[in-house]
Chains A and B, each alone.
Chain A
Amino acid sequence: MGRFHRHDDGTAHAHDGDGAHSHGRPDAEPGAAPDHSGYQTGAERVEVLEAIFGENDRTAAANRAAFAAAGVRAVNLMSSPGAGKTTLLRETLARLAGELRIGIIEGDIETSLDADRLAGFGAAIALINTGNGFGGECHLDAPMVASALPRLPLPELDLVLIENVGNLVCPAEFDVGQDARAMVYAITEGEEKPLKYPVMFRSCELVVVNKMDLLPHLGFDLDEFLGNLRKVNPAADVILASARTGDGVDAWCDWLRARR
């Protein structure tokens, strides 16, 4: 999407052909509205037609350009809290650290706990405590990611993994300048989540279905979940995985390699 829609990555969803986005974002220049002040005493209307996330989108575009200029691919990794993003990233670094030069942008509400868990693998880590960021703490936005970029040696990196704040709503709304969006979903969350959070599930090119090692212990219907996912995002790649046992992590690493 031109703004924050799912297709601003330009890869996963079939918006390539038309080029035209009728999303109502004329985004007219500031001050373009005629100034009628001083003539009337009654209420009057000022035409605005300005995208509400315009400022974020401009910063996201700058982030995207910075990644591209450095030859870095950036993946925005999103999930609900506790779905296993950090565990997956740990396993990812353990497998790829000797092969790819990886940077991590770690969004965390308050602590450095997640960043601490990722230390020791040779990756460059930039922590963003979103509690202090503009816009609150429930997601990363483009200015927050921009603030982290100077703390990463971008020209020396191949891949930047952006670990978003655990949340199935807000992160889907904010373009941060990534090349691709991926999501970690845990089967403990229930089959209906794609229908409840369609914007999030639609925004992703890949859904890693995590905690598959728990399948024998849950009343989870995998086919029903996959059917729900297909209803909202027929084009998404799916990897069945357990970050804890390592199952599927190699497939995820292959998917990351293919981003380059």
Chain B
Amino acid sequence: MTVTRECPSRRRGGGAEGARPLRRPARGGRCGCVHELSVCASIADIVTRRAAGRAVSVINVRAGQLRQIVPDTLVYCWGLLCEDTPLAGSRIVVESVPARIRCRSCGNEADVGDLPVFACAGCGGIDVEVVAGEEFLVTSLELAEETGAGTRADSGTGAGG
């Protein structure tokens, strides 16, 4: 894989890192990308454990609107993190969930929308609970066919990135 964008995490000398099971986020200066790298490291731990050595092609992630995850950035950082690791070549698919609140006073339920107003649109009440939009989980893995197209989570050689 050719890295076409500079990411803060890649400032660490780019020598042979093939022995690293997973590339951890390193020093940087720009927050957003580092945040997603940190998240990707947590996802990689889950994927490696659950795949139990099987090759993985797709990681399905569900992310609520309130989790401050930028799907494109997550996908990009996943590529960086997995490069030269057993998970190289796998990709993340993000399912976004809109934020939704329910009013405890009148029971009205509605999406929060793009403008983050956490008050009831029905009665104006402020005693609301968030019923959706805070999810953040790995929902499933799609395993690769055993043809070498995917990647093996327990392989020490990686898939060439």
Task: List residues of A whose CB falls within 8 A of some B CB.
Answer: 1, 3-5, 14-15, 17-18, 22-25, 27, 30-31, 33, 35, 37, 41-56, 131, 134-139, 141, 167, 169-170, 172-173, 195, 198-199, 202, 230-235
Contacts and interface: CB of A to CB of B under 8 A. Distances in A.
Contacts of A22: 131-132
B42 A137 contact: no
B136 A234 contact: no
B118 A52 contact: no
B130 A232 contact: no
A235 B42 contact: no
Contacts of B31: 138, 167, 169-170
A136 B143 contact: no
Contacts of B9: 136
Contacts, number: 152
A45 B51 CA distance: 10
Decide if the interface of chain A is mainly helix, strand, loop or mixed.
loop
B138 A234 contact: no
B104 to A, nearest CB: 7
Contact of A52 (B25, B54, B61): B61
A173 B68 contact: yes
A46 B141 contact: yes
A52 B136 contact: yes
Contacts of A170: 31, 34-35, 38, 68
Contacts of B141: 45-46, 48
Contacts of A199: 66-68
Contact of B35 (A18, A30, A169, A235): A169
28 contacts: A5-B66, A17-B104, A22-B131, A24-B62, A27-B137, A37-B52, A41-B146, A43-B143, A45-B140, A45-B141, A46-B51, A46-B141, A48-B46, A48-B50, A52-B137, A52-B138, A56-B42, A134-B38, A135-B25, A136-B26, A136-B28, A136-B35, A141-B38, A169-B32, A170-B35, A170-B38, A231-B119, A232-B118
Contacts of B144: 43
Contacts of B41: 134-135
Contact of B28 (A15, A30, A54, A137): A137
B100 to A, nearest CB: 10
B39 interface: yes
Given A136-B25, A231-B118, A48 B138 contact: yes
Contacts of A17: 104
Interface in B115-161: 115-119, 126-132, 134-146
B32 A30 contact: no
Contacts of A23: 64, 134-135
B43 interface: yes
B20 interface: no
Given A47-B139, A138-B31, A198-B118, 12 more contacts: A3-B134, A23-B134, A42-B145, A46-B142, A48-B139, A50-B137, A54-B46, A55-B42, A135-B41, A169-B32, A198-B66, A202-B118
